[in-house]
Amino acid sequence: MQTLWNKGVAATDIVEKFTVGNDRELDTVLAKYDVLGSKAHVAMLCKIGLLTESEKKQLLAGLDDILSEIESGTFRLTQEAEDIHSQVELTLTERLGELGKKIHSGRSRNDQVLVDIKLFLRDEVFSVKEEVLSLFAKFQQLSEEYKEYLLPGYTHFQVAMPSSFGLWFGAYAETLVDDMHTLAGAFKVINQNPLGSAAGYGNSFPLDRKMTTELLGFETLNYNSIAAQLSRGKSEKAFAGAIASLASTLNKFASDCCLYMCTNFRFISFPDELTTGSSIMPHKKNPDVWEIMRGKTNRLQSVQNEIALLCTNEPHGYHRDLQLLKDILFPAIETLHQCLQMTLYMLEHIIVNKDILKENSLYAPMFSVEVVNNKVVSGEAFRTAYKEVGLAVKEGKFHYDIPSEVSGLHHTHEGSIGNLCNKEISEKMKKAALPICHTK
């Protein structure tokens, strides 16, 4: 294996296998971003006089060729190269001779991997944002479509008060707004340019770091070169926090679906092809998708902690164990995409039971609060009305004519079943998503 840092002494196979692990496979994800970072760096080197205009054009053309190969899937990380940074430079050198070796002037693999990861994470934030917006739109659509259909609300797993499908779907839409804020916060941390910090202490070349910041579309720089190195782990943890926030939302919705699909509830169902059966019980329709979703999103919520533990007790500067961040975060990002996409797919096929309350008289007591409130409106003290209704329930004398729709009740305040405020929630989402945008 060729290493850019080799001084004539090769690592033994067992050391190389242990220290490299699957990092080379994970590095292929960064190939595109390594080329983009190199193109910006080459343009800057020309501006400050370390490359001629002719050399810049040759290098940029060579990098564009490599980028085309990456996008077509024909570019390969060979056994001779240690990592993607080495492969890009070695490929250029093979094709352009000594000129290819000039692209490393003024940078280290430390700031190379930093800029690659930040560019990669920034694109992933954009992708997650679009998936969240699609899921948000679906929740809002379902909220409006089923806003008149009543649903039992629960506390302590006990029937509590009247809810609605509109309120339930709408709740997850608004919760995604909070998740979007978390994603925007991660984007703010990520969208800073570390290129030029080199190994963490800058260098004596008159680098134009503002130029590469503009060329790469970063909002600003990691100005302090040590701070740029300290951002390794910070960016990953910030994104992992956003992943955990989204995973928590998906996890709770998956748990709801497992419960609501149960034959004791029958609030919702899905087509047979989206459920699984039993090997001995022919009547079963199991919520395997939601159970796997629940498991995957539980694991996603641990990623932030795993990153925090990996980075604990490290002094500033680069350390080889930071390489393992990719092994933790990259698969988690892919899992998040899968969970967001699968949730949307399942929602596109959800079947709502519109007649739940008509099918079971056991739900009548959840309207006891309606009776209490009506008595209060008529002039009774709340505690007096509460005791009267409570005694009627206890003695089995409570009766309430269950309305067929939400409009049969009088819930008017913001955020109640009669006033979902979906338009206002939509405006909240627009504002939450606004900071996640391209800066050029």
Contacts by 326-332, CB closer than 8 A, 24 or more apart: 326/23, 326/26, 326/27, 326/29, 326/117, 327/21, 327/22, 327/23, 327/26, 328/236, 328/240, 328/303, 329/236, 329/239, 329/240, 329/303, 330/26, 330/29, 332/240, 332/243, 332/300, 332/303
* Contacting residues for 352 by C-beta, under 8 A, at least 6 apart: 146, 149, 165, 267, 268
How far apart, in whole angstroms, are the C-alpha atoms of residue 202 and residue 244? 34
Cα 367 versus chain centre, distance: 39
Angle (nearest 5°) at CA 437 between 231 and 187: 25
Q: Active site includes 105?
A: no
Q: Which of 72, 156, 378, 413 is catalytic?
A: 156
Q: Active site includes 156?
A: yes
- Residue 151 is encoded by which pair of tokens? 């649903």
- Residue 53 is encoded by which pair of tokens? 């205009």
Count of beta carbons in the 10 Å neighbourhood of residue 70? 19
CA distances from 3 to 6, 81, 120 (A): 5, 7, 24
CA distances from 100 to 7, 51, 66, 92, 216 (A): 19, 11, 13, 5, 21
Q: Residue 79 phi/psi, 5° resolution? A: -65, -25
Q: Which of 68, 278, 361, 407 is catalytic?
A: 278
Angle (nearest 5°) at CA 143 between 404 and 364: 30
Count of beta carbons in the 10 Å neighbourhood of residue 379? 7
Angle (nearest 5°) at CA 369 between 374 and 160: 160
* Contacting residues for 371 by C-beta, under 8 A, at least 6 apart: 385, 389, 398, 400
What single letter denotes the amino acid at residue 397? K
Annotated catalytic residues are 156, 278
